[in-house]
Every structure is written in C-alpha cells, then in structure tokens.
Amino acid sequence: MKTRTRFAPSPTGFMHIGNLRTAIFEYLVAKHDNGDFLLRIEDTDQTRKVDGAIDFIYDTLKLCNIEIDEGPNNEGEYGPYVQSERLDIYKKYALELVEKGHAYYCFCTENELEEMREKANLRHKPFLYDGRCSKLSKEKIEENLKNGVPYVIRQKMPKVGETIVEDVIYGKIKIDNSILDDQILLKSDGFPTYNFANVIDDHLMAITHVIRGKEYLDQSAKYNLLYEAFGWEKPTYIHVPMVLGSDGNKLSKRNGDASFMDLYNEGFLPKAIVNYLVLLGWSPEENKEVFTMDELIKAFNPKRIGKSSSTYDIKKLEWFNQKYIKELNDEEYLAFIKPYLTYDISGKSNEWVDKLLLIYKDHLSYGKQIDEMVKIFFEDSISISKENEEFLKSDENIPIVIKTYHDELEKLNNWDVDAIAEVINIVKEKTGVKGKLLYMPIRIKISGVEHGPELPDEIYLIGREKVLDRLK
C-alpha cells in the first residue's frame, strides 16, 4: 500500500512552529517511502476561520520546500479537501452509525447539559454525558425528528473493558473505556466535530499514517472505536511529543508564540527553520546536525522520534540560521540581506553598500540584526561605554597608539583597505605595540565597541573624515 500522510491545519492564520514541525514530520514520512503528502483544511469551527489562511499555508509550505501532492489548490481524486465542503459525506456516515447502533440522536438542551456539568463539578469529577438519550424509544426519536427538535449525533461508547491503541513511538497504550465520553459526532448545525471528521476523511482519502501531537494520544481510543464500528482498517499512529516554550508551556498562536512568518520576516531562512524543527524531538542515526531536505528524506525514521517534550530555543535556531547564511554565495546573501537594511543609502555607491553588507555576512544570526550592526556607519557620533573608557586609560601606550595612527592615516593619499591595513603595520613598528593594545584602542575610538569586522574594512567604510575626527 502506498504511504499517504496528511497535514490538516485549521485555517486560523499564520502557522506556528509546533504545527510546522508536525507538517515536516508528515512530509518526511511520506517522501521517505516515495508516498503522497496531502493538505486538508479542517474548518469545522467556522468562528475561527481567517480569510486567506489557505494561501498562507500553501505559501509557508512552499517556502519550506514542502511539496503538496494533493490539496484545496491542487485537487486529486479524493477531494474536496476542505471539510466545510464535505458536510453531506459526514452526515451520511453519522446516520450509518446510528443505524448500526454505534451512535444515537441526542436532543438534550444546553440547560440540561449545564445541569450535568454542575453535578460533575460538585462531585469533583470530569463531565461525561450520561447517555440518557441513548435510551429513548424509537417512537420518541421519530416524534422529535418530525417536530424539528434540534439534535446532535453522539458516539455510543462501551462502558466496560479497554481499547488498545498501537503507536509507533509509545507502543501499546490501554485506554479504560469507562473514561470515554459519548462524544458528539455531528453538531446541530450539520458540521462534524474534529474527531469524527478526521476519521471519515482519513479513511476516504486512504491515509496510511496519522501524525499528531502526543496530547491527542488518549483520543485515539475514540478513533479506533469508530474504525471498528465501520469495519475499516486503522492507520499507523505516530504521536509526537510537544514543543514547549522557555516557560514550559506548549507553543501556540494563542499564547503569542512566534509563527513561521514571524521568524521569516525577522530574517530566518526557511531551510534553517526546517532543519532546526526536525531536530526538536527527532535524532538521526549519524552524528550530524545540518541536513538538506533530500538528506532528511533519506535519513528520516519516525522510530527515532523521542518520547519527551522538546524546548524551543531561539539561540539554537540562530546558530542554525547563521550557518545557513554563511553558506549563501555573495549574490544570494546580498539579495537576502538588503531588504532588512533600513538606513538611507541614497548617497552611497552600490560598491560601498555591498562591501558594508558583506563584511557582516559571517557575523549575522538573522536578517534584522543588520541594522544594529551597521549603525556606526550611519550615525554622526558614537558613544563609548564606561568599561571601554577605562580600558583606554589602562595603559600609557594607548594614547600614543591612537595619535600615531591618526597622524599616519592623515598622510594617506589613497583611501583603500590595503593602504589602511599597511598603516596599522607602520604604527606597530613605530610604537612597538602589538596585539590587543594595538587594535582595540583604534577600534573603540572609531566605533565605540571592542569587536567587529576586519578593522581595515571598518575604517574604510566609515570614511576618512569621520575616522580622523573620532581618533582625535
């Protein structure tokens, strides 16, 4: 059987990175086996739907080099791929379950349900529907339907015994049937619930592997009971551990955590984001961290996904991003970084701008960082920290080095990097000073900070007048 996986997000806006990691895992499982990767839109909760969200999802996956084999914008033979367009299908299968005795009409009002919830709270127990409507006579059901009494359709759960869930990562899980609620399958507005629609769509779309968060593992018992009620083959389950923020909570858009587009707009490369997210929970057989997509497809084995939650670390992502930025050729790098430079460069030559950006190529962790790094080239004045001021007074040779460099630099006829570098050598010979006491005083005086790109490049780009003025 051909491997088929699906990514089934809700159309609620930009994709947060926890969801993106699940999509990446699903894609790698499919492509490792030369299978298909589907996009299905789960819009059963119409109140949260955001216009244009489907395009956001397509754009995100395209940027991440994830190809959608079938979906709303490129339908195959299993469509429609948007759940709100499949309501007749869900109703048909809900009614089939009623006929088989695995589901029933529920006519309870909201007041009745609220009364049950209050009683459960008083007993300090989780609310479980008491199943009263499953005992209604056939005549009463027909009378209610004839009179147009609003209803939902509930799944009739067994109340004794256990349901077994087999999972690739967590193995055999036993779920006590007594804790399973008679969940709603079809709501009164004709829309299916998330759990019911998933099972119907996964079967009809021939999905072989279902990958989702560990928090849904217990829910899989309900899915299995539905598969058994229909007599359908169950998919392979792969429940992945959660991605947690630094505060220990699950990452989510509702908590204001970064979405993929947030990171992308900050200047994180999609390849770096994908590479980092794959390693949040999965470990390769070989001791390696940096992968191309083709290498990930070849190496990916879902059995190597760990059981413990992973913590999202922005510093580690920055490390990955820096490595990928360094791998860009100069043309690619300039095309990537220029949009993040917000200073007015109208009076600067293309050669000057390109050189400025290129000297920071090996220092950048993400795109928006460039403005802070290059501000010394655009500001008329600089500030020197108290610590650096103290360093400038720490040795009697430092004032001599600064004055000698100023005087030698002032003599230069050609303002270019090689000539500026040679002046540093001249100062070294004249003063006998080398190392930290030679370079750091000059850098601090011209830039205000003790670290930066190659000193001759920095001096050249700041310009003769500003450098001589700052050295005074």
Catalytic residue flag (residue 31): no
Q: How far apart are CA 5 and CA 210, in angstroms?
A: 6
Q: For residue 359, give both structure tokens.
A: 């000297």
Q: Name the DSSP letter for residue 241.
A: P
What's the maximum distance between 2 C-alpha atoms anywhere in the chain? 109
Omega within 30 of 0 (cis) for the link into 80: yes
Strands (E), 48-156: 103-106, 152-155
Distances (CA, A) of 16 to 22, 49, 93: 10, 16, 33
Q: How far apart are CA 5 and CA 29, in angstroms?
A: 7
Which entry of 214, 250, 253, 361 is annotated as an active-site residue?
253
What is the helix (H) or strand (E) element at residue 355, kind and residue range? helix 350-358
Residues 6+ apart with CB under 8 A from 77: none
Q: Looking at beta carbons, which pairs linking 305-309 to residues 24 or more positions away fall under 8 Å?
A: 305/25, 305/168, 305/169, 305/238, 305/240, 305/241, 305/281, 306/169, 306/241, 306/281, 306/282, 307/169, 307/170, 307/241, 308/241, 309/214, 309/241, 309/242, 309/243, 309/244
Return left, alpha or beta for 248; rule: phi > 0 is left, psi -120 to 50 is alpha, else beta.
Answer: left
211 bridge partner residues: 238
Rounded to the nearest 5 percent, the helix, strand and coil shares of the chain are 50, 10, 40
Catalytic annotation, residues: 253
